[in-house]
Structure 1
Amino acid sequence: MANTFFVTGTDTEVGKTFVTRALMQAAIESGRKVLGYKPVASGCELQDGELKNSDALTLQACSSITLPYAMHNPYAFAPAIAPHIAAAQANESINVARLSEGLARLKATAADVIFVEGAGGWRLPINDRQYLSDWVKSEHLPVILVVGARLGCINHALLTLEAIRHDGLVVAGWVLNQIDPTMSQYQANVDTLKQRIKAPFLGEIPWLGEQANDSVHNFIDIAALLK
């Protein structure tokens, strides 16, 4: 059975896909067969008669095993808005059973590791009653937190970790991603995060700008995750 991890972030636009790609590439470099799963995505475009999301396409491209797009992303919505609102506009309902069925199909492959990328932050509504975190809890998935380094990230990181642990889930590790190159007192913030976050530190990705490329996985300590 594949080791499966859920990747969440301190907020939207903190580099979850960027970090998930780095995690996938690092795992592949370590000799594992890897798959990426994006259960719910909004902001999709029609390609070959099918709504597709750029983040999910990245996960598909980085996967070790060739599978149809829909197996990587069962729920895809066109508007770049909260998924539960996009689903309502499309007269659909996001069903957790479908999310679980999709993950089970990936687990039935030859993959050694599956990285499941969330949407938005930890408390993402998916319908009138449930959050995506409820599904993660039902699947008992260990969680990797992406901390987007910008003003306010300490508060966001600690509150997110508190919520994850309150839900009874294991924090498998965290990754620091510098998303604001002009952040004041960056190193002091990094030191505070490292001091206060009681979970394995998987890596610090600096601001790379135009130099962001496939070598980003070198910043990830995959051995700390896949023991």
Structure 2
Amino acid sequence: MKKRFFVTGIDTDAGKTYVTVGLLKAAKRAGLKAIGLKPIAAGADRVEGNLRNDDALLIQQASSVKLAYEQVNPVVLEEAIAPHIAAMKEGRLVTASRLEGFIKGTLLTPHDLALVEGAGGWRVPLNDREFLSGVAKSLGFPVIMVVNMKLGCLNHTILTAEAIARDGLVLAGWVANTGAEKMPCYEENLASLAGMISAPLLGTLPWCESELDSQQVFDELLLAL
């Protein structure tokens, strides 16, 4: 049975790519056919004349099912700013239906696990009328929410969980991502979130200095899905 999830964060730099890549590598170790997608990304460098986003490249490399870059990241924008503004500056129109079409086309490729990573937080605009959350809603995949444990995370996490529920999607669970330095009252904040969010805490990600240290964490996280 295929498992498919949409990965979102409570804001930008929450650790979505860290979680997505970690889960893809865990799936590869488990012998699963795993696909990771980053349908839209803002912030890219030119590599041999083509725009390439660092997060999308990491996702492409971590996937056990090998895909062309354009399948992993069909819409790549050069400036590292809000996607709808970057698209407007490039004279491009990005729509939810177009992104959905790209994703569904790529997911025709045989797989056991698919992770579709969002951009920024839940309500990131694609244009002046649509949000990236609309793509997640159309796909209907359960959502994995990545929480960067820092001051302000309680408000951002609760609001994001409420928005996901309001869009009619299932919150499969959330992941607590810890930075290089633990926030003040880390355990108390973690307990507060666990009590306020009905979805399960899938796992806590400690700060890992090496990939070897993080492998067991992500192996356990994969099993929790």
TM-score under structure 1 normalisation? 0.93
Aligned equivalent of 2:214:
216
User: Once the two structures are superposed, what CA deviation does each residue of 1:199-225 show, in whole Å capped at 9, x if it has no partner?
Assistant: 1222111123xx142542421322221
- Deviation of 1:83 after TM superposition, in Å, equals 0.5
User: Once the two structures are superposed, what CA deviation does each residue of 1:85-106 show, in whole Å capped at 9, x if it has no partner?
Assistant: 0000000011223212221222
Aligned equivalent of 1:151:
151
Aligned equivalent of 1:50:
50
Q: Which letter maps to 2:110?
A: A
- Deviation of 1:124 after TM superposition, in Å, equals 0.3
Aligned equivalent of 2:185:
185
**Partners of 1:139 and 1:30 in 2: how far apart?**
26
1:32 counterpart SS class: coil
Asked if 1:127 corresponds to 2:162, the answer is: no
Q: Which letter maps to 2:156?
A: H
Note if contact 1:2-1:107 (Cα within 8 Å) is conserved in structure 2. Answer: no
**Partners of 1:115 and 1:49 in 2: how far apart?**
28
Name the stretch that deviates more: 32-41 or 174-183: 174-183
**Partners of 2:126 and 2:81 in 1: how far apart?**
12
Runs of 4+ residues over 6 Å off in structure 1: none
Aligned equivalent of 2:68:
68
2:191 counterpart SS class: helix
Note if contact 1:44-1:52 (Cα within 8 Å) is conserved in structure 2. Answer: yes
Aligned equivalent of 2:162:
162
Aligned equivalent of 2:21:
21
Q: Which letter maps to 2:199?
A: A
1:187 counterpart SS class: helix
Name the stretch that deviates more: 67-76 or 23-32: 23-32
Note if contact 1:200-1:224 (Cα within 8 Å) is conserved in structure 2. Answer: no
Q: Which letter maps to 2:49?
A: G
Structure 1: gaps spanning 5 or more residues? none
Note if contact 2:178-2:207 (Cα within 8 Å) is conserved in structure 1. Answer: yes
> Percent of counterpart pairs with the same letter?
45
**Partners of 1:11 and 1:217 in 2: how far apart?**
25
**Partners of 2:82 and 2:197 in 1: how far apart?**
28
Q: Which letter maps to 1:69?
A: Y
Q: Which letter maps to 1:186?
A: Y
- Deviation of 1:107 after TM superposition, in Å, equals 1.6
Q: Which letter maps to 1:193?
A: L
Note if contact 1:177-1:206 (Cα within 8 Å) is conserved in structure 2. Answer: yes
1:122–1:212: structure 2 CA closer, same or farther, 3 Å change rule? farther
Note if contact 1:149-1:180 (Cα within 8 Å) is conserved in structure 2. Answer: no
Q: Which letter maps to 1:70?
A: E
Note if contact 2:9-2:122 (Cα within 8 Å) is conserved in structure 1. Answer: yes
TM-score under structure 2 normalisation? 0.94
User: Once the two structures are superposed, what CA deviation does each residue of 1:33-73 show, in whole Å capped at 9, x if it has no partner?
Assistant: 10110011011111122111000000000011221101000
Alignment of 1:48-127 (within 5 A): 48-127=48-127
RMSD: 1.5
How many pairs does the alignment contain? 223
**Partners of 1:29 and 1:174 in 2: how far apart?**
22
Note if contact 1:14-1:179 (Cα within 8 Å) is conserved in structure 2. Answer: no
1:173 counterpart SS class: strand
Note if contact 1:14-1:177 (Cα within 8 Å) is conserved in structure 2. Answer: yes
User: Once the two structures are superposed, what CA deviation does each residue of 1:145-183 show, in whole Å capped at 9, x if it has no partner?
Assistant: 000000111111111000100110000111110125141
